[in-house]
Structure 1
Amino acid sequence: YSPYKVAENFNLLATLAPGRVELGIGRAPGGLPRSTKALQHGIAEPTTLEAKLTELRALLAGPADESHPLPGLTAHPLPQTPAEVYLLGTSLSSAELAAEQGVPYAFALFINSDPQTAQAALSLYRERFDRSRGGEPQPILALSLIAADTDEAAEALAGQHKTVRVTLESGQTVNVGTLEQAAEFARQAGQTYTAVEREADIVRGSKATVRGRLLELAETYNVESFIFTTIIPDYGQRARSFELLREAFAEELV
Structure 2
Amino acid sequence: MKLSILDQAPIVKGKSAKDALEESVNLAQLGERLGYHRYWIAEHHDLNGLACPAPEVMLGAIGIKTTSIRIGAGAILLPHYKPYKVAETFNLLATLYPGRVDLGLGRSPGGSAEASVALSGNFLENVRNMPEAMDELLHFFHQDFNEDNLFSKIKPTPVPDILPVPWLLGTSGKSAVLAAEKGMNYAFGHFMSDQDVKPTISTYRQLMKENHPNKNPNIILAVNIYCAQSSEEAERLAYESFKWSVNKDSQLSKEQEDEFNELRNKMIIGNPTEVKATLYEFEQNYQVSEFMVLTNTPTYESRNKSYELLAEAILMEQ
SS at match of 1:226: strand
> How far is the alpha carbon of 1:64 from its aligned partner?
4.8
- Report the more deviating stretch, 34-43 or 71-80: 34-43
Task: State the partner residue of 2:308.
Answer: 243
Task: State the partner residue of 2:173.
Answer: 92
Contact 2:143/2:152 (<8 A) preserved: no
Residues 44-89 of structure 1, C-alpha deviation per residue, up to 9 Å, x if partnerless?
A: x636211111111111223754353333121110000001101110
Q: Does 1:197 align with 2:197?
A: no
Alignment CA distance shift 1:215-1:42 (3 Å):
closer
Task: State the partner residue of 1:54.
Answer: 135
The match for 1:119 among 198, 202, 219 is 198
- The letter of the residue matching 1:126 is R
Higher helix share: 2
- Report the more deviating stretch, 199-208 or 85-94: 199-208
SS at match of 2:260: strand
What stretches of structure 1 move > 6 A for 4+ residues in a row?
A: none
Q: TM-score with structure 1 length normalisation?
A: 0.79
Alignment CA distance shift 1:133-1:220 (3 Å):
closer
Residues 28-48 of structure 1, C-alpha deviation per residue, up to 9 Å, x if partnerless?
A: 1211111122222278x6362
Q: TM-score with structure 2 length normalisation?
A: 0.64
SS at match of 1:70: helix
The match for 1:153 among 221, 224, 233 is 233
Q: Does 1:16 align with 2:78?
A: no
> How far is the alpha carbon of 1:208 from its aligned partner?
1.2
Supply the distance in 1 between the matched residues of 2:260 and 2:292 (Cα, whole angstroms). Answer: 23
> How far is the alpha carbon of 1:103 from its aligned partner?
1.2
Aligned residues: 225
Mapping for residues 1-254 of structure 1, pairs under 5 Å: 1-41=81-121, 46=126, 48-62=129-143, 64-114=145-195, 116=196, 118-129=197-208, 132=212, 134-162=214-242, 178=246, 197-199=259-261, 200=263, 201-252=266-317
Q: Tell me the C-alpha RMSD between the 2 structures.
A: 2.7
> How far is the alpha carbon of 1:107 from its aligned partner?
1.0
> How far is the alpha carbon of 1:131 from its aligned partner?
5.5
Supply the distance in 1 between the matched residues of 2:122 and 2:154 (Cα, whole angstroms). Answer: 22
Alignment CA distance shift 1:113-1:149 (3 Å):
farther
